Amino acid sequence: MSEREQAKQIIDMLPEYKISNLLLFLRGMQFDDDIEDDLYCQKLYEDYLRNPDPQKHDTITLEELAAREGIEL
Q: Return d(Cα 29, Cα 61) in angstroms, integer.
A: 40
| Residue pair 65/58 in contact by the 8 Å Cβ criterion | no
Tens digits of per-residue pLDDT, 11-36?
999 999 999 888 888 888 777 778 88
Question: pLDDT averaged over the chain?
Answer: 91
pLDDT at 33: 79
* Domain boundaries of the chain, sorted by first residue: 3-69
Distance CA 5, CA 35 (A): 27
Res 30: pLDDT: 75
Cα separation, 5 vs 26, in Å, equals 16
Looking at residues 33-61, what average pLDDT do you find?
Answer: 91
Q: How far is CA 2 from CA 6, 8, 10, 21, 47, in A?
A: 6, 10, 12, 23, 39
